[in-house]
Amino acid sequence: MKTLTLCAAAAAMLLGTSAFADAPSCTAARNDNRLTQAQMLQKLVDAGYSIERFAVTQASCYKMHGWDKDGHRVEIVHHPVDGRIVKLEMSTQRV
């Protein structure tokens, strides 16, 4: 019974890992080396983004859903140390 449970758990982990293979991993840097969430939000607002949702991902990235200054729907993942874009998805249609 233990073997069956362990095999099922291992299979679930492998399936879960492949589903997130393209998810960016940002950093293991200490929190005092990172931009605060407030600093990152301010950078986004200053750049003209309208923010619908903002979160810290399991991979320690900052993820934002919203609209750019031209009205395009965007989902952007940012590196928490320097704020650079790690992943960008943009709708071609304006809202």
| Per-residue pLDDT reduced to its tens digit, 5-49 | 333 444 444 444 334 445 567 877 777 889 999 999 999 999 999
Calculate mean pLDDT across residues 44-71: 94
Q: Are 67 and 50 in contact (CB under 8 A)?
A: yes
Paired residues of 64 in beta bridges: 54, 76
For residue 84, give every residue at least 6 positions away whose Cβ sits within 8 Å of its Cβ, in sequence order, or none.
Answer: 78
What domains lie within the chain, and their CATH numbers? 2-94 (3.30.505)
Q: How far apart are the first and last CA of the chain?
A: 54
Mean pLDDT of 54-65: 93
Locate 6 and state its tokens. Answer: 């362990």
Q: Look-up: residue for tokens 């299979």?
A: 11
**What is this structure's pTM?**
0.69
Report the pLDDT value the prediction gives residue 83, as an integer from 0 to 100.
93
